Amino acid sequence: MIKKITTPDDLIRIKKQTRTFEKVPEKGVHVAVGMNTCGMASGAKETMAAFRESLAYYDLDAKVFRTGCAGMCFYEPLVDVFLPGQPRITYKGLSCDGVSRVVEDHILGGQVVENWVLAQTVVGDKRLPGIPTYDEIPYCRGQHKIVLARCGHIDPEDIYQYIAMDGYAASAKALEMDPEQVIDTIRRSGLRGRGGAGFPTGLKWQFVREAKGHPKYIICNADEGDPGAFMDRSILEGDPHAVLEGMLIAAYAVGATRGYIYVRAEYPLAVERLRKAIQQACDLGLLGPNIFGSDFSFDIRLKLGAGAFVCGEETALIASIEGKRGMPHPRPPFPAQNGLWGKPTNINNVETYANVAPIISNGAEWYAAIGTPDSRGTKVFCVTGKIKHSGLIEVPMGTSLRKIVYDIGGGITAGRAFKAVQTGGPSGGVLPEALLDLGVGYKELAEAGSIMGSGGMVVMDENTCMADVARYFLSFTRSESCGKCTPCREGLTRLYEILDRICKGNGHADDLDRLESLATTIKDTALCGLGLSAPNPVLTVLKYFREEIEAHIFEQRCPAGVCPDLVWYRINADRCSGCGQCRRACPVEAIVGRPKVPHEIDRMKCVKCGTCLEVCPPRFHAVECVSGQVADEPQAVSSER
């Protein structure tokens, strides 16, 4: 292998010499196990160890590889089996117990194990009957992978596999261009920041290039803090070099010599893989002095964040790198003029950088042809919540929410009805069913009162109370407020307090106005993006789910049956068979009744845990959760009856 890469030809030589695990040698066997955090949480480590053990036991000429997340977190552990001349077979949910069967039946016996098979990837014209290809799986249809293209196809800890899949070719190409040409390409591609605000990336780079000051810095914002968002983590764990390469190109374009990746310490695997990737890139001369034999030098350092949500805000992040408390400062001045250590600084997030190399390789026009006129390219979303297939998807901008929720996400769990989807993390807006045909784009989401954010998408079903949801998100943002500006520090708490009393049935008639004016003023006066967007859940809930809030205030009723203070449980005597399941399950002995006689709930004792409702056999459906109906005064039921 080449010791140092000094010319683009060196890259081509490495590419020729390197086999990714997708190219199986004759008589060889390759097994690739998804070893991102999601895979490991589902037992991928054990699955991998079991493969190693089993393959060694049969003395097979086999290699076991680790790979990143292909996006289908709900199917982890995912395992790919490659046999020479055979389609690649992907197994889902393969715990270590199933490994020996896969080895014996499939690898040794040539028979695909149907229990766990998910899909095949056809090689040549050889297709196995009865197994869908990826394109035939609804989850994958409609996706367009640019950022996640390599995730699941390479070992993220091996730079050679990255190079084998055209890695660092874009940086070689970029370094032969003028920096202005590079910026122009990014500008023409229409790429906008994927961190939330959607500022045009090319324009930002141009500002940094034109800014006076030396040295200049590049920062990668990998402080992904939105609950339920893990796009950046998956990219860092599955394809870390894509981010390094994007930073390298950006540094060349803006004239920076040092880069920082600000990554959360709560992402230990991403940190480890980034460390290895930086080391490998340094070893090969792709980072450090005189890259590709040019006079351009660039190095990257890691800075670990300590878990403050606000440090995702760029000025707070910069303060944190400088060793100060992570608190934002007013912009202007923007980091492009006055950033890290007061120097011009370009700051983009992980996904933005991961888009850079493909744009340089394939051209601005190729990228600009994807998506909508306002929002070009693709976007990675983390679809979570009450959805069948929660995981990572990459779709062209403009894809409708309906397609994401129903076609890709598989619809709502347990056959329930869709109620709302929240885009953009805890400070995004909550959008109702009527807006499901909205295409995802910066402008479209903003007009609907929400934000693109970094790509979190939380799906909610009919059993979700929107007052409770707004309260929940406020409880998050108010405790993550840095405390600097008044509207965010004090205002979010007051919003929370009002929502809390509404959820408890103590809302006042003027609380709706109070919420609205407070939320609007916070959005008008807060210092940074956290405070400016935190009222979004409240405002969208008021806009789209107003009746539900009104029901809480004026009828003391929670229509979704969620708010504990507004619901109570009763047993429908006509339906109850007296089976006693609820009586036995009740943790506070609030249910009384003799066998085969309808039971009753003592409302004085009931703690509204809902266990009785859960355990009541569906054929009876006797336990009811009731809210807001005029009820008899709660009466203690004698247990001797």
Partner 1 sequence: MAKTISLTINGKRITTVPGTTILMAARQVGIRIPTLCYHPRLSATGSCRVCMVEVRGRPTLMPSCTTTVEDGMEVVTANDRVLEARRLIVQLLLASGNHNCLTCQSNGACELQKLAYDLGIEALAFPARSSGYPRDDSNAMIERDPDKCILCSRCVRACQEVQVNEVLDFGYRGRRSKIVTAWDLPYAESDCVFCGECVSVCPTGALTEKQAKFQGRPWELKKVRTTCPYCGTGCQLDLNVRDGRVVKVTSDTLHGPPNYGSLCVKGRFGYDFIHHPDRLTAPLVRHKEGFRKASWDEALDLVASRFSQIKQSYGADALAGLSSARCTNEENYLFQKLMRTAIGTNNIDHCARL
Half-sphere exposure of 597 (CA within 13 A, CB side): 7
240-254 vs 350-362: helix crossing angle, rounded to 10 = 70
Give the integer Cα–Cα distance in Å for 618 and 633.
29
Binding flag, residue 495, partner 1 (CB under 8 A) = no
Binding mask 95-114 vs partner 1 (x if CB under 8 A, - otherwise)?
--------------------
Binding mask 303-322 vs partner 1 (x if CB under 8 A, - otherwise)?
-----x-x------------
Q: How far is the CB of 634 from partner 1 (least distance, A)?
A: 30
Binding flag, residue 492, partner 1 (CB under 8 A) = yes
Contact 298, 244 (CB under 8 A): no
Among residues 485, 512, 562, 586, the one that binds partner 1 under rule CB under 8 A: 485
Q: How far is the CB of 488 from partner 1 (least distance, A)?
A: 9
**Structure token digits, residue 489:** 């520090």
**Structure token digits, residue 330:** 């007013």
Specify the residue, 328 or 344, whose C-beta has the smaller distance to partner 1. Answer: 328
Specify the residue, 517 or 639, whose C-beta has the smaller distance to partner 1. Answer: 517
Give the integer Cα–Cα distance in Å for 613 and 572.
11
Site for partner 1 in 198-217 (CB under 8 A): none
Binding flag, residue 524, partner 1 (CB under 8 A) = yes
Among residues 77, 98, 487, 529, the one that binds partner 1 under rule CB under 8 A: 487
Number of shown-chain residues binding partner 1 (CB under 8 A)? 33
The full 3-state SS of 455-468, as one line of letters, equals CEEEEEECCCCHHH
Binding flag, residue 543, partner 1 (CB under 8 A) = no
Pairing of strands 117-121, 217-222: unpaired
Among residues 192, 264, 419, 484, the one that binds partner 1 under rule CB under 8 A: 484
Give the integer Cα–Cα distance in Å for 631 and 109.
67
Specify the residue, 330 or 634, whose C-beta has the smaller distance to partner 1. Answer: 330
Q: Which stretch binds partner 1 (CB under 8 A): 23-31, 39-47, 110-118, 526-534?
A: 526-534
Site for partner 1 in 331-370 (CB under 8 A): 332
Percent of the chain as helix, strand, coil, to the nearest 5: 40, 15, 40
Contact 35, 70 (CB under 8 A): no
Among residues 321, 526, 566, 579, the one that binds partner 1 under rule CB under 8 A: 526
What's the first-to-final CA gap in the chain, in angstroms? 85
Binding mask 441-480 vs partner 1 (x if CB under 8 A, - otherwise)?
-------------------------------------xxx
- Residue 332 three-state SS: coil
* CA–centroid distance for 223 within its chain: 12
Give the integer Cα–Cα distance in Å for 203 and 333.
16
Q: Which stretch binds partner 1 (CB under 8 A): 221-229, 323-331, 412-420, 454-462?
A: 323-331
Q: How far is the CB of 122 from partner 1 (least distance, A)?
A: 51
Binding flag, residue 491, partner 1 (CB under 8 A) = yes
Nearest to 456 by CA among 434, 423, 479, 490: 423
Positions in the binding site for partner 1 (CB under 8 A): 308, 310, 325, 327, 329-330, 332, 478-487, 489-494, 497, 517-518, 521, 523-527, 532
